[in-house]
Amino acid sequence: MEPFDVKSALEELREDALLPHPVRLRDMILRTPLDAGEALELNREFQTYLTQYGGTQKLALEILERLAASEMKKA
């Protein structure tokens, strides 16, 4: 994915369910011409995204740490 290519990010999200990193998403927003109302609304939505992205990362870290500390099951 190109760092600032909104169409590629959208395509990857639809195909692979990959979430763009918040920094890339923020840069995409900043590089898109928006009127004041749209910019304000997207900023509000971005703040929610940022909060939930961070929460998901924390949860994934906790899960991975527990898995790494556990003994792997034999098949």
Residue 28: per-residue pLDDT:
93
Residue 74: per-residue pLDDT:
61
Q: How far is CA 30 from CA 12, 17, 35, 43, 53, in A?
A: 20, 23, 12, 10, 19
Instruction: Say whether pLDDT at 1 is over 60.
Output: no
Interatomic CA distance for residues 61 and 46, integer angstroms:
22
pTM for this predicted structure = 0.67
The pLDDT tens digits of the residues spanning 7-66 come to: 887 777 677 667 889 999 999 999 999 999 999 999 999 999 999 999 988 888 888 888
Instruction: Say whether pLDDT at 75 is over 70.
Output: no
